[in-house]
A and B are shown apart, each in its own frame.
Chain A
Amino acid sequence: MTTPKNLTTRVRHLGAVIAAALLFLGALTSCAATPEAEESTSPITLYSGRSEELIAPFIEAFSAETGFEVETRYGDSAALAAQLLEEGANSPADLFLSQDAGALGALSAAGLLTPLAEETLTQTPKEFISQAEDWVGITGRARVFAYSPLRVSSLPGTVADLVRPEWKGRVGIAPTNSSFQTFVTAMIQSQGELATEKWLKAIIKNEPKFYEKNSLIVEAIDSGEIDAGLVNHYYLWEVESELGREIKVQNHFFTAGDIGNLLNVSGAGILKTSKNQNRAKRFIQFLLSKEIQEKFVSDTHEFSLKYPEFSPEGVPPLSAIGAPNVNLSELSELQRSQKLLLKVGLL
């Protein structure tokens, strides 16, 4: 039985344990807090959906030029967007860099982004700026039909052709990847939900092969697992550089204006809650500068939206790819395409 003396010792122990736990917690959190907090100028917190490999050198150059520190959180664009949506007004982020217009659009729709300054918006063509003018396209990336020149002789004119029996079991798609989902969103926008559903169902009937990522589709075309696939245009070079050899895969653009040639963008927006608005703005301007844009084009084979004269090697210029006329800022309506993909069973 518990004697009074026992009880007091117990209470004492309890107090000691709680105190120790609090100390432990406090020590750890203070360790993790940024030491720069005391300075008047805190670093820019960047959430980057673009890879470290590509973007880190640019960040270093930016810091060297401006003396501004940048702390970067790398992740998948859509996952980071979801995290920002969950963080809401409490987000520590200043700036979001996305691979995909849809992710930026989702933040814009949730009212998390702040309108961009005039000098950021000028010169970039209007179609690559959101309607609310709260995000801007940095580079362009086209959807293409990647195929094996060895096994594909007659090329499709439109994505609608891919439902024909001749393509049965030969085409790879990545329905879980945001690039494909954005394409579906664009299709809904231009052709309506019914037509899109019909196309998706017909495609499924044609037994496509499913992949997690665009790069896996390109590799599967090279290895002969499939003959063709719907991917972004630059994966050809990405896969080649990884494998360290030439691959037997080529890009084909559909007929001009076909939704299969959708031009998506990678872009950037500044969080409304950022206390670092000016520095964040400087960073976006830096990414839009001529020098960095040229480097984007040569490093990644993406298109420069602001300086179309820098054309990536081995790809037709931006004006010649026949991109469909799609309102990029409406591409955030992923809910609709998500529901559709759920309905037809692709998700």
Chain B
Amino acid sequence: MIRSSEELQRNSQQTDGNNPPSTLLLLAGVLALVFIALPIFYLFRLAIRSDGQTLSLLIFRAKTAEVIFTTISLATLVSLFATVFGVMLAWTLHNVKIPYSNLFRALVMIPIAIPSYIYAYCWLSLETLPRGYFSALIVLTLATTPYIILATFSAFARIDLAQLEIAQTLGNNPIQLFARIIFPQIKNTVLAGSLLIVLYVFSDFGAVSLLGVDTLTRAIQNTYQGSYDRSSAAVLAIILLLLSAVVIVRENLWRNESYQAKASTSITKAGKKYAEGKVRVLALTLIVGYILIALVLPMSLLVQRFFARERELDLYNIFNVTSSTILVSALGAVLAIAIAIPLALLTLTGSRLGKIAEWGVLIVHALPGIVMGLALVAFGSKFPFIYQTLMLLAIAYSILFLARSVGFISVSISRVPMNLVEISSTLGKNKRETFFRVILPLALPGILSGALLVFLSAMRELPATLMLRPTGFETLATEIWSSANIFRFSEAAPYALLLVIFSAIPAFLISRPDRRNSERGEIS
């Protein structure tokens, strides 16, 4: 059984060493690169137009350094806290025997459905809470923790249980087990999740603007909206891109340094769960605490707002907007996996093009929606046949959120047992048949999870949607914006609730536990 893409690469190089990626895959890689390069190219074009004086005023001043520092420190701390907290929650859910564990597994994932701006709004509506850096730190940590839980779950599913069992038998306590056996094996996957969170914070606008924290993204938005100055905004966006490139390279080095688990070939017994009373109480407190703060509290505030509305529900509009949102987000998700699958296959062949494209995917993930909107307006307005169409909007979604699905998809494809692939080719099936009849069906759950993550990210996207949607086309996010913008939060509540409900469904689907987990014994 193959554990990681690095291993699959090694493996495939061993089995048929001189097998370059097919033309089709290379073409797909080039296509993906073109997609990614599109916004970056237009960003540079916009930046070139900027006048030198404003530019030097913008870049070489204390405030910009301060903003960059705030961006880096906020992203690092949120990522750190969310990682620690998320791994703790996932470990607890995975290893402690608690009642209704499947229900709790789903519930801790649902906050992934709540956009940061809804958290920030709820934070503010509690009235006694201050705005500012620490509030943003808490809000963003709550909003991003589920991404780590998700990554950790998927890493747990691939842990070498034989090692774990041996270590348990040798009397290692849970902390020793975690540090010696579990952590080295989940490190890579969790780190990839932490990286996505850094990029999430880099590009977040909702929470930082409502809570008044000056990050680069907020500065970009203010520059753009304040003065119609597209080029200064583009210059700031390029600074943000460089910053994320540094983070991505740094993370990559870490990953390569880290210990590669050599997994045993078969899994016969599953590890056992902790069932001791004290541990269970502690575990339940942690899990229920998170669910209360990150899910029950914001939902009850939204429900309260819902009933405080003054107006009748416009059911026709609600239906329209909801179906529009689902349609365009699904389109974005389909497009994203259509790019991500060949990209994952390409990366697994060890091709350099694949690696470059993968980095590109991560770099553009740090682009705030407004920058993507700006770049695609600059591009699209020259091509009226695509400008302000659903297609362009779906393209924007797929580029913005590709990074959230690509990890899932490469991991699930790399987990397809190599021997099955080999058997298939021994039986005379060509690569295409092998892909459609062996790889795709086996990797399907992972691919679907990747698609669902893009789908729910696209559903809540606002700045790019405002700029790129067809005129007259509204999504749940634009409806929330248009009510909240004129301070009618209660009128926004039905749309906010629908947004959370419709993204909670994919979140729930993603969270479904694998069968192995429910078949495990217990330690008392």
On A, residues with C-beta under 8 Å from B are 10, 13-14, 17, 25, 28-29, 31-33, 45, 51-54, 71-76, 78-79, 81-83, 85-88, 90-92, 103, 106, 176, 178, 181, 210-212, 215, 223, 238-239, 241-242, 244, 334-335, 338-339, 341-343, 345, 347
Contacts and interface: CB of A to CB of B under 8 A. Distances in A.
B389 A32 contact: yes
Contacts of B483: 53
Given A103-B228, A106-B228, A176 B222 contact: yes
Nearest to A92: B388
Interface stretch (B57-65, B94-102, B256-264, B359-367): B57-65
Nearest to A54: B486
B488 A53 contact: yes
Contacts of B466: 75-76, 79
Interface stretch (B22-30, B107-115, B294-302): B22-30
B488 A86 contact: no
Contact of A13 (B24, B61, B62, B209): B24
Contacts of A32: 388-391, 470
15 contacts: A10-B22, A53-B483, A71-B472, A72-B472, A78-B225, A85-B228, A85-B230, A86-B230, A92-B388, A176-B225, A242-B487, A244-B310, A342-B63, A345-B61, A347-B63
B228 A81 contact: yes
A335 B54 contact: yes
Q: How large is the interface on B (under 10, 10 to 19, 20 to 34, 35 or more residues)?
A: 35 or more
Interface in B224-275: 224-230
B226 A176 contact: yes
Contacts of A347: 63, 219, 222-223, 226
Given A14-B27, A238-B487, 7 more contacts: A32-B470, A74-B482, A82-B225, A86-B381, A103-B228, A342-B54, A342-B63
Nearest to A344: B63
A32 B382 CA distance: 17
Q: Among A33, A79, A334, which residue has the most Cβ atoms of chain B within 10 A?
A: A79
A211 B308 CA distance: 25
Contacts of A81: 228
A90 B382 CA distance: 7
B386 A29 contact: yes
Contact of B486 (A13, A53, A91, A338): A53
A246 to B, nearest CB: 16
A71 B470 CA distance: 10
B123 interface: no
Nearest to B221: A176
B387 A342 contact: no
A242 B384 contact: no
Nearest to B490: A242
A220 to B, nearest CB: 9
Interface string B453-485: 000000000000011011110000010001101
Dominant SS at the A interface?
A: helix
A218 B174 CA distance: 53
A79 B390 contact: no
Nearest to B42: A86
B228 A82 contact: yes
Nearest to B469: A73
A48 B491 CA distance: 20
A211 B489 CA distance: 17
A88 B478 CA distance: 24
Contacts of B491: 53
B471 A92 contact: yes
A151 B512 CA distance: 55
Contacts, number: 146
Nearest to A347: B222
A264 B432 CA distance: 65
Nearest to B229: A338
A52 to B, nearest CB: 5
A241 B391 CA distance: 39
B228 A78 contact: yes
Contacts of B162: none
Nearest to A235: B487
A215 B478 CA distance: 19
A79 B27 contact: no
B377 interface: yes
Contact of B230 (A31, A82, A215, A241): A82
B62 A82 contact: no
Contacts of A73: 469, 471-472
B212 interface: yes
B381 A181 contact: no
Nearest to B28: A17
A343 B57 contact: yes
A88 B381 contact: yes
B316 interface: no
Q: Among A211, A242, A341, which residue has the most Cβ atoms of chain B within 10 A?
A: A242
Contacts of B24: 10, 13-14, 17
Contacts of A71: 471-472
A339 B469 CA distance: 32
Q: Among B53, B57, B62, B219, which residue has the most Cβ atoms of chain A within 10 A?
A: B57
Nearest to A91: B381
A341 B57 CA distance: 10
Contact of A338 (B27, B212, B227, B389): B227
B210 A212 contact: yes
A10 B23 contact: yes
A334 B22 contact: no
Contact of B227 (A45, A53, A334): A334
Given A32-B389, A90-B384, A334 B486 contact: no
B390 A342 contact: no
Contact of B387 (A74, A90, A106): A90
A335 B232 CA distance: 11
Contacts of A91: 381
A50 B164 CA distance: 62
A239 B467 contact: no
B226 A78 contact: yes
Given A82-B230, A92-B387, A52 B23 contact: no
B385 interface: yes
B340 interface: no
B217 to A, nearest CB: 13
B228 to A, nearest CB: 4
B341 interface: no
Contacts of A82: 224-225, 228-230, 374
